[in-house]
Each structure stands twice: as C-alpha cells, then as structure tokens.
Amino acid sequence: MNLYVIRHGQTDENVNGLINAWNEHKLNEVGIEQANAMKEEIAKINLDVIICSPLKRTKQTCEIINKNNVKVIYDERLIERNAGKMQFEPVTKLDRNLWHDITKEVVYEDSEGMKSILRRVGSLIEDVKKEYKDKNVLFVTHGDIARAIYVYLNNITDIGEITDFYQVNCEIRCYKI
C-alpha cells in the first residue's frame, strides 16, 4: 500500500505563527494557490480513496486537489490536535519537547497530548491497511497529525527526531506500507 499524506494549504494562523487547532478558518490566498499547484501532481497518482480531516481548511484543500473526483471519506481521526486553551496562542509559547512528548495524553492542562494523537492516527492507519491493502490512499490532514503519522509509521521515540519533523503546507509525502 502507498499512503500519501498532504498537509492543508496555508492559513492566516500559519503565517502569524499561531497554534491553529480546531477551528473552521479557511485557507488564505497563498493556501489556495498551494493547493492548486498540487492539483496536477495529485492527479498523476492513481488514488483509490482520499481520507480527509473534516475541518474546513482540509476540506477546502481536498476539493481543490481532487481533480480526478476520487471518493472522499471524512474521518475525525485526522482532525488537528485539540489545543484547548493554547488555540491561537503563538507557537513560541510552546515547550516543543512537552508538546511532542509521546508519553503525554494531555499537556498544558487541556491540550491533547501526542500519545492521544498517536492512538487515533494509529487506529486509522491500521484500519486503512486492512481495508485498502495494495491500494493508493491519500490523507488530507494537519501539521501535528502529519507528524504523528511519520512517528507512528517509523516507530520513532526520540524526542529530537519528533520535534525536528516538519511538513510544510501542501507538501505531500509517500509512505510504502
């Protein structure tokens, strides 16, 4: 199976260095351009299914890049981290080691920890491996979820390696499973 992962296009929160989390904000003009630039590349992949986060910015990205009208499934397990009171705070306020600590269910009192994210992402990946064996699947998701997918599929436990991972807006990565 080939699992492709794309992060949504740019938002104003990304530009302003804010923690995006659970909100229904749209892509900005650059984000729309980024998604349009990926449309042809995605069209060349013989996708069997697209699984998308149900938040507006991922849905918008998915609608733009899905030139071939591939079947889309919305799955809550791809939704961005629930950042609680940290939503819309500057990312510079984060202790990156704490934010990405895979042993924590909750951080900063009410923010979803990486352990919780890994559990839901792992559940989705295992379901997809069974359902779409020998297929091409695209996840349309968010930055911390893309990081969790990378960590899960590569069995990474080193906090430095986890915090160093970054997938830019509308970057696509392929994992052979």
Read off the pTM: 0.96
Instruction: Tell me the CATH number at 42.
Output: 3.40.50.1240
Asked if residue 40 lies in contact with residue 64, where contact means CB atoms within 8 angstroms, the answer is no
> Which pLDDT tens digits describe the chain residue by residue (177 residues)?
999 999 999 999 999 999 999 999 999 999 999 999 999 999 999 999 999 999 999 999 999 999 999 999 999 999 999 999 999 999 999 999 999 999 999 999 999 999 999 999 999 999 999 999 999 999 999 999 999 999 999 999 999 999 999 999 999 999 999
- Looking at residue 161, its pLDDT comes to 96
How many separate domains does the chain show? 1
Is residue 95 situated within a structural domain? no
- Looking at residue 61, its pLDDT comes to 98
Residue 53, Ramachandran bin (φ over 0: left; ψ between -120 and 50: alpha; else beta): beta
Asked if residue 52 lies in contact with residue 124, where contact means CB atoms within 8 angstroms, the answer is no
Asked if residue 112 lies in contact with residue 106, where contact means CB atoms within 8 angstroms, the answer is yes
**What SS3 state is found at 173?**
strand
Is residue 137 situated within a structural domain? yes
Is residue 94 situated within a structural domain? no
